[in-house]
Structure 1
Amino acid sequence: MRADWQTGQLGDFFEIVTGGTPPKAKKEMYGSYMPLVKPPELTGAGVQSGEDFLSEEGAAASRILPVGSVLVSCIGNLGKIGISKVELATNQQINSIKPNAGKAFPEFVFYLVQAPHFSDQLHRLASGTTVSIVNKSKFKSILVDLPSLPEQKNIVATLDEAFEGIDTVVANTEKNLANAREMFESYLSSVFSQRGDVWVERRLEEIASSTQIGLVRNRKEQGDSLEYSYVKMDNITPNNYFDSKNIVRVEAKQSEVEKYSLKKGDLLFSTRNSYELVGKSCLYDIEKKEPVLFNNNIMRIRFVEEISPNFAAYLFHSPKVKKQLENMKSGTTNVSAIYYKSLKNIRLAFPSLDTQKTICGRLDEMSARTQELEAIYQHKLTALAELKQSLLQKAFSSELTAREAEAAVEEATA
Structure 2
Amino acid sequence: MLETKKLGEVCKFVRGPFGGSLKKNCFVENGNAVYEQQHAIYNQFSEIRYFINDEKFEEMKRFELKSGDLIMSCSGTMGKVAIVPANIKKGIINQALLKLTPSKNLDIEYLRYWMSSPDFIQRIEENTVGAAIKNVASVKILKEIKVPVPPLQQQQQIVAIINQAFEAIDQAKANIEKNIANAKELFQSKLNEIFSQKDDGWEEKSFKELSTRIGDGLHGTPNYDEDGEYYFINGNNLTNGLIEIKGNTKKVNYEEFIKHKKELNENTVLISINGTLGNVAFYNNEKVILGKSACYINFMPSVNKHFIKYLIKSPIFFKSMANESTGATIKNFSLKSMREYIVNLPPMKIQNEIVQKLELLETDVLEITYSYKQKLNNLEDLKKSILQKAFAGELTNMDFLQQVAEPEASYTKK
Q: Please give the TM-score of this superposition, normalised by the length of structure 1.
A: 0.54
Shift of 1:176: 1.9
1:320 matches 2:319: no
Amino acid across the alignment from 1:171: A
Rounded to whole Å, the distance in 1 between the matches of 2:322 and 2:86 is 31
- Are residues 341 and 372 of structure 1, via their aligned partners in 2, closer, same or farther at CA, if it must alter by over 3 Å? same
8 Å Cα contact 1:214-1:295 kept in structure 2: no
Amino acid across the alignment from 1:281: N
Amino acid across the alignment from 2:344: F
1:361 matches 2:356: yes
- Are residues 102 and 171 of structure 1, via their aligned partners in 2, closer, same or farther at CA, if it must alter by over 3 Å? same
Rounded to whole Å, the distance in 1 between the matches of 2:261 and 2:386 is 45
1:200 matches 2:196: no
1:267 matches 2:270: yes
8 Å Cα contact 2:214-2:339 kept in structure 1: no
Shift of 1:236: 5.5
1:374 matches 2:383: no
Give the 3-state SS of the residue equivalent to 2:280 in structure 1. Answer: strand
Shift of 1:380: 2.0
Rounded to whole Å, the distance in 2 between the matches of 1:121 and 1:247 is 30
8 Å Cα contact 1:215-1:293 kept in structure 2: no
Amino acid across the alignment from 2:321: L
- In structure 2, the residue matched to 1:253 is 253
Of all paired residues, the percent bearing the same amino acid is 17
1:13 matches 2:15: yes
8 Å Cα contact 1:231-1:248 kept in structure 2: no
Q: Give runs of aligned pairs for residues 138-287 of structure 1, distance below 5 A.
A: 138=133, 141=135, 157=159, 160-196=163-199, 198-202=202-206, 207=211, 209-212=214-217, 240=240, 251-257=251-257, 259=260, 266-269=269-272, 271-272=274-275, 278-284=276-282
Amino acid across the alignment from 2:304: S
1:347 matches 2:341: yes
- Are residues 161 and 391 of structure 1, via their aligned partners in 2, closer, same or farther at CA, if it must alter by over 3 Å? same
Shift of 1:364: 1.7
Amino acid across the alignment from 2:355: C
Rounded to whole Å, the distance in 2 between the matches of 1:254 and 1:347 is 35
- Are residues 339 and 180 of structure 1, via their aligned partners in 2, closer, same or farther at CA, if it must alter by over 3 Å? closer
Shift of 1:318: 1.9
Rounded to whole Å, the distance in 2 between the matches of 1:228 and 1:405 is 60
Amino acid across the alignment from 2:204: V
Rounded to whole Å, the distance in 2 between the matches of 1:119 and 1:200 is 61
Rounded to whole Å, the distance in 2 between the matches of 1:390 and 1:230 is 45
The runs of 5 or more residues in structure 2 that have no matched partner are: 9-13, 20-37, 53-64, 103-107, 407-414
8 Å Cα contact 1:236-1:282 kept in structure 2: yes
Rounded to whole Å, the distance in 2 between the matches of 1:15 and 1:255 is 55
- Are residues 182 and 315 of structure 1, via their aligned partners in 2, closer, same or farther at CA, if it must alter by over 3 Å? same
Shift of 1:190: 0.9
Q: 2:395 aligns with which of 383, 403, 406?
A: 403
- In structure 2, the residue matched to 1:330 is 327
Shift of 1:367: 1.4
8 Å Cα contact 2:274-2:333 kept in structure 1: yes
User: 1:145-185 CA deviation, whole Å, 9 max, x = no partner?
Assistant: 57689869969937645533432322222222222111111
Rounded to whole Å, the distance in 1 between the matches of 2:222 and 2:392 is 44
Amino acid across the alignment from 1:169: A
Shift of 1:191: 0.8
Amino acid across the alignment from 1:13: R
Shift of 1:232: 7.5
User: 1:236-260 CA deviation, whole Å, 9 max, x = no partner?
Assistant: 56xx575969766754302445657
Shift of 1:189: 1.0
Amino acid across the alignment from 2:253: K
Rounded to whole Å, the distance in 2 between the matches of 1:375 and 1:241 is 19
Rounded to whole Å, the distance in 1 between the matches of 2:70 and 2:273 is 34
Report the RMSD for the aligned CA atoms in angstroms: 6.2
Q: Give runs of aligned pairs for residues 93-112 of structure 1, distance below 5 A.
A: 100=99, 102=101, 107=112, 111=116
8 Å Cα contact 1:69-1:96 kept in structure 2: no
8 Å Cα contact 2:72-2:98 kept in structure 1: no
Shift of 1:194: 1.8
Shift of 1:117: 8.7
Rounded to whole Å, the distance in 2 between the matches of 1:226 and 1:247 is 14
Give the 3-state SS of the residue equivalent to 1:403 in structure 2. Answer: coil
- Are residues 233 and 339 of structure 1, via their aligned partners in 2, closer, same or farther at CA, if it must alter by over 3 Å? closer
Rounded to whole Å, the distance in 2 between the matches of 1:185 and 1:4 is 55
Shift of 1:82: 11
The runs of 5 or more residues in structure 1 that have no matched partner are: 7-11, 18-38, 90-94, 127-137, 273-277
- Are residues 190 and 227 of structure 1, via their aligned partners in 2, closer, same or farther at CA, if it must alter by over 3 Å? same
Q: Please give the TM-score of this superposition, normalised by the length of structure 2.
A: 0.54
- In structure 1, the residue matched to 2:412 is none
